[in-house]
Amino acid sequence: MLVGAPAIVSAVDRYVCCDSERLATLETPEVRAALPHGPVPHFDAAALRADGRKLGLGSSAAILVASLAAADPRSFASDQELRLALAAPALVAHRRAQGGGSGIDVAASTWGGTLIATRSQGGELELEPVALPSELFVEAWSSPVAASTPELLAGVARLGARTPEQHARWFAELKGAAQRAASALRRGQALDLIAELQQQGAGLAALGAAAEVPIVTPECKQLAAFAAAEGAAVLPSGAGGGDIVLWVSRSASPPAFRDLATTLGHHQLHLSLHARGVHRLSA
């Protein structure tokens, strides 16, 4: 997330399940930061993993939020009250454990639905709930490449130190596309949203090339070129570099795209957007 620029995030129906009656066999750094004195509830995050690695669906944030919900002894009259109680401490713990971060994945895990999120200069996260256009199709494809966000950020930082004017130009273009995409989503205009996402994908590829880091992988570039001819946008989610590639269009991806994606080592994740946020289940 660029400072001052909006990001769009939608919760997906891949949940972390916590059991307050069992103790955790593994404690993540984020949960340790939130519950330094324990007890830490047991969690199951299998739905957010495959082939021995994280899928890139925000599992650390989901584990944290679910663990806080299970560990809190208080009763809440509604899911909304639970989420209000967890939002701030979850965000603080996540940033403390990770040394920063936007917190957008924490927000999605907490509140669910679809959000336009903007991080201010002071680090505050402003959240605006929105609805996805009914005619919009979004597919998530798991990349064979695991993203390394620190590597990408370091490369972009080197670009900024080496050529500050070029760095500023790329970021201004990306910020403009992000703002226009958010405006299109608010208006429910799917075609305009797709067009701005195409611009963002191209901008991220150009930024990565200039910074000499694979923000957009070679495989994603091939898929994006195919999608553009179909009037669709294909771009990496989050910071890029692998993990998840998104197909965004007014129709599902055609068989030829699916064949190409599979040949390039991607596989579709079957999930739904605009999912429910953190909640408790009765025993």
pLDDT averaged per 10 residues, the chain (length 283): 80 96 93 94 94 87 97 95 97 90 92 93 87 96 81 82 86 91 96 95 89 89 95 88 90 97 95 96 75
pLDDT at 3: 61
pLDDT at 277: 97
Residue type, 85: A
Distance from C-alpha of 20 to C-alpha of 149, rounded to nearest angstrom: 32
Using DSSP's 3-state secondary structure scheme, residue 225 falls into helix
Q: What is the DSSP string of 78-144?
A: SHHHHHHHHHHHHHHHHHHHHT----HHHHHHHHBSEEEEEE-TT--EEEEEE---TT-EEEEEE-S
CATH architecture of 6-130: 2-Layer Sandwich (3.30)
pLDDT at 41: 96
If we measure between CA atoms, which residue out of 246, 254, 250 comes closest to residue 220?
Answer: 246
Distance from C-alpha of 79 to C-alpha of 148, rounded to nearest angstrom: 34
Domain residue spans of the chain:
6-130, 144-265
> Dihedral (C-alpha) 102, 104, 109, 111: value to the nearest 10 degrees?
120
If we measure between CA atoms, which residue out of 280, 276, 223 comes closest to residue 254?
Answer: 223
Rg (CA), the chain: 19
pLDDT at 283: 61
pTM confidence score:
0.91
Fold of 144-265: Alpha-Beta Plaits (3.30.70)
